[in-house]
Amino acid sequence: MTRESWQTRIGFILAAVGSAVGLGNLWRFPWMTSDNGGAAFLLVYLGVVLLVGVPGLLAEFVIGRRSRRNPVGALSDLSESSAWSAFGHVFVVTAVILLSFYSVVGGWILRYFAGSFTGAYFAAPGAYFESINYGVEAVGFHLLFLGVTALIVLRGVRRGIERATKLMMPAIVVLLLALAAWGVTLDGASEGVAFYLAPDIAFLQANFLNILPAAAGQALFTLSLGAGTMLTYASYLGEDRSLAADGTAIAVLNTFVGVLAGVVVFPILFALGVGAGGGGPGALFVSLASAFAALPYGQVVGVVFFGVVVLAALSSSISMLEIPVSFLVDEYGLSRRAAVGGLTGVFAVTGAVCALDQGVFGFVAGTLVDLLLTGGLVGFMLFAGWVLGADAVTELQGGSGPLARSLATPWLYAVGVFIPVFLIFTFVSGLADAAG
Ligand code: PHE
Ligand code: NA
């Protein structure tokens, strides 16, 4: 059986943007931003996306397109080393970890989406979250979210992932623009916009080293880096197109949606008077739900907002499921149906564990994910820099214009040496920070 490929270039780009744009932009980003000083965080984050995110994305693209395989097959094929092949299996673990907690949050969102129609959370938004966050109901909605994810992935790269993301992405952008237009007209919205877009330079100077690890972690998470997702998506590229141009477009679009999401969220929070909030993963839901309950047209806005989040989450969760699916199909010759079925069974259980236990959830969604993504991306970059070397430069140059061609060699040094050193340094200093 021949391996599938994307039908169109824009299909590939939208699928990759679909993977990137997700709960990372709509839930984790506002939460990180409010915990780290607002616009100061945004500034550092944008720098990291440009200097670490884009080169890192290209490392995954280069490995994926060159090998036309899943992460495990790619690393073992291109290196012919059993150590790299063993390292490749880490990405299967990463996918399990990611989707396990992501599907739980996806379930919460489905619950809020339904609750916006019925008005279920309007009377007591705080108590509502407490009643659905961990427990049997959370397991149920996790299974629902996982089931929809599985149905899309089951239909394959073209008919499932490409078609679904082609519909979802424009819808997300249009609806977010509408929400932003509504949000900035609210009383008090301008303070939210200022908190979000006007950096406090003194704060930035004083806290730069504390902000950096959070910004780096967020940049990797939001660009879906270090998990093998982007590698896998690039492995379905048929012909040589400019990876550099596509990668830049994906990073720009993801950043645009992320910033736009902030323009939606912060005015709503400030208009309600809850300010930047902060305070953990659930806080954003509670604050937003309170805002929808209190503001004019809140119910309609709630339906639209949580609808957008559902779409964004699904277009990301399918990319997580596709990693181990491609692994089982490429390496063990399983049918897509068998691979999706078997893996969904596994995720049903691992996700249920996260849905039942807040402690497990917090550990998985926080430290463990950061560790796996950082380690994973460092591995991909070292692989591109030291194992592929000159071949990586050739691969990046294939289909590219003169600018990308001349930047290919500096890029190789960046991913082979400088960025890994930077990421390891930031990660360790972040740990030290958390411990001290
Ligand atoms: N980028 C996705 C988001 O922001 C999360 C993700 C991480 C998806 C890693 C795939 C791989 O929601
Ligand atoms: Na998405």
Q: By mean pLDDT, which of 143-147, 291-295, 374-378, 413-417 is the weakest?
A: 291-295
Q: Is the minimum distance from the CB of 94 to ligand 1 under 6 angstroms?
A: no
- The one-letter code for the residue type at 364 is V
Q: Is the CB of 98 under 6 A from ligand 1?
A: yes
Ligand nearest to the CA of 99: 1
pLDDT at position 388: 98
How far apart are alpha carbons 349 and 128 in whole angstroms? Answer: 25
- Single pTM value for the model: 0.94
165 and 315 Cβ atoms separated by less than 8 Å: yes
Residue 126 pLDDT greater than 80, yes or no: no
pLDDT tens digits, residue range 52-71?
999 999 999 999 999 999 99
pLDDT at position 1 is 58
In-domain check, residue 289: yes
More confident residue, 284 or 109: 109
Identify which of 23-27, 105-109, 228-232 has the greatest average pLDDT: 228-232
How far is ligand 1, taken at its centre, from the CA of residue 98, in Å? 8
Q: Is the predicted pLDDT of residue 436 greater than 70, yes or no? A: no
pLDDT band (50, 70, 90) for residue 281: low
How many other C-beta atoms lie within 10 A of the C-beta of residue 241?
A: 16
Task: Find the mean pLDDT for residues 79-90.
Answer: 95
- In the predicted structure, residue 24 carries a pLDDT above the cut 70: yes
Query: Which range (101-105, 125-129, 143-147, 375-379) has the least confidence?
Result: 125-129
In a domain, 393, yes or no: yes
DSSP 8-state class, residue 53: I
CA 112, 290, 117, 188 torsion: positive or negative? negative
pLDDT digit string, tens, across residues 32-57:
887 788 888 999 999 999 999 999 99
Contacts (Cβ under 8 Å, ≥6 apart) of 424: 374, 378
For residue 313, the ligand 1 atom closest to its alpha carbon is: 12
Q: Please answer whether residues 409 and 39 qualify as being in contact, where contact means their C-beta atoms are separated by less than 8 angstroms.
A: no
The per-residue pLDDT for 234 is 97
Check residue 280 and give its pLDDT. 58
Question: Which pLDDT score, from 0 to 100, does residue 2 have?
Answer: 78
- Ligand 1 pocket test, pick from 49, 103, 222, 377 with the greatest ligand atom count within 8 Å of Cβ, gives 222
Tell me: pLDDT of 111 over 70: yes
Top-confidence residue, 294 or 255: 255
Let me know if residue 372 belongs to a domain.
yes
Q: What are phi and psi of 190, to 5 degrees?
A: -65, -35
- How far is CA 224 from each of CA 57, 228, 264, 286, rounded to the nearest angstrom? 9, 8, 22, 26
Which bound ligand lies closest to the C-alpha atom of 26?
A: 1
Structural domain including 138 reads: 9-435
- Rg over alpha carbons for the chain, rounded to the nearest Å, is 21
Structural domain includes residue 3: no
434's tokens: 């958390």
d(CA 19, CA 314): 9
Which has the higher per-residue pLDDT, 69 or 122? 69
In the reported structure, the alpha carbon of residue 346 is separated from the centroid of ligand 1 by a whole-number distance in angstroms of 20
What pLDDT was estimated at residue 241?
A: 84
Residue 413, domain member (yes or no): yes
pLDDT for residue 275: 64
- CATH number where 179 lies: 1.10.4160
Q: Give the pLDDT score at 370.
A: 86
Q: Per the domain annotation, does 1 fall within a domain?
A: no
Q: What angle do CA 85, 90, 96 make, to 5 degrees?
A: 135
Could you give the angle at which helices 298-332 and 9-20 cross, rounded to 10 degrees? 110
Confidence of residue 274 (pLDDT cuts 50, 70, 90): low
Nearest CA among 370, 374, 379 for reference residue 434: 370
- Least reliable range by pLDDT among 129-138, 143-152, 164-173: 129-138
pLDDT at 327 (0 to 100): 97
**pLDDT: which is higher, 412 or 135:** 412
Closest-CA residue, ligand 1 atom 8, reads 224
- Residues 100/143, Cβ–Cβ less than 8 Å: no
Asked if residue 117 is part of any domain, the answer here is yes
151 pLDDT band, cuts 50/70/90, is very high
Q: Range with the lowest mean pLDDT among 105-119, 274-288, 333-347?
A: 274-288
Q: CB of 369 closer than 6 A to ligand 1?
A: no
Q: Is the ipTM of this complex over 0.95?
A: yes
According to the model, what pLDDT value does residue 8 have?
93
Higher-confidence residue of 191 and 310: namely: 310
Q: Is residue 2 part of a domain?
A: no
Predicted confidence at residue 430, as pLDDT, reads 81
pLDDT of 282:
66
Sign of CA dihedral 9, 11, 13, 16: negative
Which of the four pLDDT bands, split at 50, 70 and 90, describes residue 402? very high
| 191-213 per-position pLDDT tens digit | 888 888 888 888 888 888 888 98
Cβ of 319 closer than 6 Å to ligand 1, yes or no, is yes
Give the count of domains, the chain.
1
Pocket perturbation via mutation, ligand 1, pick of 319, 322, 323 by most ligand atoms within 8 A of CB: 319
In contact, 81 and 73? CB cutoff 8 Å: no
